[in-house]
């Protein structure tokens, strides 16, 4: 799976073939075909792997977050790092493929729903947000959508300075909205 992710990041969907992944993983073509007879099966397994890895990455990075007034900005920065990292880039390749490949779409759409719910839940938890308050659920979702968009903007150029400034401003708005 790591070879598949690395191939997606380096070569994109079009360049990620079962042969290339087998070579990168250091396994024979026969072994690869035994476990994943088709590209679709390999990619579907990769979708599941990437989903679990993305959630694990958020949980792992969350252990180093500060408490107190700097927490919101730190949570946003951590989420932005996830959305500018290699797992996010690999996921984007799969989203692109899912747009036109029904087999990949059938695997990606339900998994992304699970990842979306878990990302939202983790963000609520990390921010200490009270979703029973009006507008809080929407503010958390706006945050996740903003960060995903900033991750997309970072694909073509280094957008770090602009992203940091936007997230610092959004952290102030979010703190006010959440009542932090």
Q: How confident is the model at residue 12 (pLDDT cuts 50, 70, 90)?
A: confident
Query: Quick check: 131 pLDDT over 80?
Result: yes
Q: b/e for 73-110, b at 16 or more Cβ within 10 A?
A: bbbbbbbbebbbbebbbbbbbbbebbeebeebeebbee
pTM score: 0.82
Q: How confident is the model at residue 142 (pLDDT cuts 50, 70, 90)?
A: very high
For 2-178, CATH number out of 1.10.8.50, 1.10.357.10, 3.40.50.150, 3.40.50.300 equals 1.10.357.10
Q: What is the mean pLDDT of the chain?
A: 89
């Amino acid at each position: 799976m790591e070879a598949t992710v690395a191939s997606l990041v380096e070569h994109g969907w079009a360049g990620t073939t079962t042969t290339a992944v087998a070579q990168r993983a250091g396994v024979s073509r026969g072994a690869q075909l035994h476990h994943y007879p088709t590209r679709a099966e390999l990619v579907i397994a990769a979708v599941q792997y990437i989903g679990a890895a993305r959630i694990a990455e958020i949980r792992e990075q969350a252990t180093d977050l500060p408490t107190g007034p700097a927490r919101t900005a730190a949570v946003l920065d951590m989420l932005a790092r996830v959305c500018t990292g290699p797992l996010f880039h690999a996921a984007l390749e799969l989203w692109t493929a899912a747009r036109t490949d029904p087999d990949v779409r059938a695997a990606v759409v339900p998994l992304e729903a699970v990842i979306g719910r878990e990302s939202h839940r983790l963000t609520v938890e990390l921010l200490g947000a009270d979703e029973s308050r009006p507008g809080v659920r929407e503010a958390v979702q706006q945050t996740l959508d903003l960060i995903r968009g900033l991750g997309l903007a970072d694909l073509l150029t280094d957008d770090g300075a602009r992203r940091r400034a936007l997230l610092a401003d959004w952290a102030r708005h979010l703190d006010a909205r959440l009542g932090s």
